[in-house]
């Protein structure tokens, strides 16, 4: 059975997923019984195209890269161009909406509306946008459940490093007492550069040059990006719904090279740590710079790498480390969701 995708947003992450499904076509079919067809793309800047029988992914990528528009896709009489995002979600025959629009994480829009519209129309959603899961998880997950559709968002925390699904699928049977982690690559990179002697400003400029920091780095350096991810971990992994506003938040903008060097001289390192601790059916959550011993495994995490530790009552302390951003890695996170969508569909039919 073919899985039909509609991309809402077709920037770097969407294109990365399209490339992966093109390159891994045989492997996905042979190993995962996943036969993917891209039926639609709708993007605010690149236009939209729909074909009920599927589009040729190579041609689609060429159109975007050569012309900056998917509306130059070859016409065959049944091709439709010019649909809005909403028309594409409602009227296309897609099974799965790949929601990768440019979304304002403060409001979660337009991604939240796209997810809601898809679920109401009995379409599944996979997304890398943090807004829908940090701001509207309860509403959207309940709506998806009521409509019998799938909601996948692995890439919202640590991109393709499976920080969400690993504890939910392979650490089953444990109670997770605490989660702590380095969830923002920009700030970890900056702190490790300050450990080498760079000033805060020099470290920030380097992070921006390397493309780690957001265009406006406020969300990174003030801890807001990590705070959204903390809310997602609490909502999904800990099963305790909290708003990002309930997560105490302090970034690294007050940290100087002298603070970092003085910690080093005392056998410690600063890390911007997200921490969620279970307390009598509730959780306490914070994001703040913490001084940790140099032999703490999290102190060994340097550069833009992310890491997360799950304190489990049976398995003990489990640490997962890997990329927290990157086009290929984030595109891959969508593939993880897609394979799980397909596995659930196969199970439901047996």
The window from 2-10, 34-42, 183-191, 264-272 that contacts ligand HSE (CB under 6 A) reads 183-191
Least distance from C-beta 186 to ligand HSE, angstroms? 3
Pick between residue 42 and residue 221 the one whose CB is nearest to ligand HSE.
221
Q: Which is nearer to ligand HSE, 51 or 180 (CB)?
A: 180
Which one of the listed residues 46, 130, 180, 229 is annotated catalytic? 229
| Least separation in angstroms between CB 119 and ligand HSE | 24
Contacts 24+ apart (CB under 8 A), 91-94: 91/50, 92/4, 92/6, 92/39, 92/40, 92/50, 92/52, 93/4, 93/39, 93/52, 94/4, 94/5, 94/6, 94/39, 94/40, 94/123
Residue 122: alpha-carbon gap to chain centroid:
23
Q: Which phi and psi (to 5°) does residue 77 adopt?
A: 95, -30
Note whether 305 binds ligand HSE by CB under 6 A. no
229 is catalytic: yes
CB of 8 to ligand HSE, least distance (A): 19
Q: Which stretch binds ligand HSE (CB under 6 A): 47-55, 181-189, 198-206, 253-261?
A: 181-189
Structure tokens at 297: 């495994």
Q: Which of 237, 324, 329, 342 binds ligand HSE (CB under 6 A)?
A: 324
Report in angstroms how near the CB of residue 111 gets to ligand HSE at its nearest: 14
Element (H, E) at 259: helix 257-265
Size of the site for ligand HSE (CB under 6 A): 9
Whole-angstrom Cα distance, residue 180 to residue 177? 10
Q: Which is nearer to ligand HSE, 118 or 304 (CB)?
A: 304
Q: How many CB atoms lie within 10 A of CB 249?
A: 19
Q: Name which of 204 and 325 has its Cβ closer to ligand HSE.
A: 325
Q: 3-class DSSP state for residue 304? A: coil
Contact 233, 274 (CB under 8 A): yes
For ligand HSE, the binding residues in 184-243 under the rule CB under 6 A are: 184-186, 212, 214, 220, 225
Residue 18: which H helix or E strand, with range?
Answer: helix 12-23
Q: Per rule CB under 6 A, is residue 160 in the interface with ligand HSE?
A: no
Q: What H or E segment, with its residue span, contains residue 85?
A: helix 85-91
Dihedral sign, Cα of residue 35, residue 37, residue 42, residue 45: positive
Under the binding rule (CB under 6 A), the answer on residue 325 touching ligand HSE is: yes
Query: With respect to ligand HSE, which residue has the nearer C-beta, 109 or 214?
Result: 214
User: Rounded distance, CA 291 to CA 303, Å?
Assistant: 17
Q: Which is nearer to ligand HSE, 92 or 286 (CB)?
A: 286
Residues with a catalytic annotation lie at 229
Binding residues vs ligand HSE (CB under 6 A): 184-186, 212, 214, 220, 225, 324-325
């Amino acid at each position: 059975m073919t899985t039909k995708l509609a991309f809402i947003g077709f920037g770097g992450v969407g294109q990365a997923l399209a490339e992966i499904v093109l390159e891994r076509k045989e492997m996905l079919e042979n190993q995962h019984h996943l036969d993917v067809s891209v039926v639609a793309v709708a993007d605010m800047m690149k236009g939209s195209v729909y074909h009920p029988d599927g589009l040729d992914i190579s041609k689609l990528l060429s159109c975007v890269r050569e012309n900056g528009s998917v509306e130059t896709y070859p016409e065959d009489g049944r091709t439709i161009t010019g649909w809005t995002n909403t028309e594409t979600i409602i009227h296309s025959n897609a099974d799965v909406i790949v929601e990768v629009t440019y979304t304002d994480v403060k409001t979660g829009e337009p991604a939240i509306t796209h997810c809601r519209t898809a679920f109401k129309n009995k379409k599944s959603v996979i997304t890398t946008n943090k807004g829908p899961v940090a701001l509207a998880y309860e509403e959207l997950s309940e709506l998806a459940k009521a409509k019998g559709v799938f909601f996948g968002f692995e890439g919202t925390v640590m991109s393709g490093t499976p920080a969400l699904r690993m504890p939910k699928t392979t650490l089953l049977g444990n109670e997770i007492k605490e989660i702590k982690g380095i969830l923002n690559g920009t700030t970890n990179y900056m702190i490790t550069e300050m450990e080498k002697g760079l000033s805060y400003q020099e470290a920030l400029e380097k992070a921006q040059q390397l493309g780690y920091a957001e265009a406006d780095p406020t969300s990174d350096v003030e801890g807001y990006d990590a705070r959204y991810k903390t809310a997602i971990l609490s909502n999904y992994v800990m099963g305790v719904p909290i708003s990002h506003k309930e997560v105490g938040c302090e970034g690294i903008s007050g940290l100087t090279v002298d603070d970092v060097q003085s910690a080093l001289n005392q056998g410690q390192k600063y890390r911007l740590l997200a921490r969620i601790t279970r307390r009598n059916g509730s959780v306490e959550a914070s994001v703040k710079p913490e001084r940790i011993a140099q032999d703490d495994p999290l102190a060994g995490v340097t550069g833009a790498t992310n890491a997360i530790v799950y304190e489990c009552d049976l398995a003990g302390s489990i640490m997962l480390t890997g990329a927290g951003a990157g086009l290929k890695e984030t595109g891959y996170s969508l593939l993880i969701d897609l394979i799980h969508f397909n596995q659930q569909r196969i199970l439901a039919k047996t």
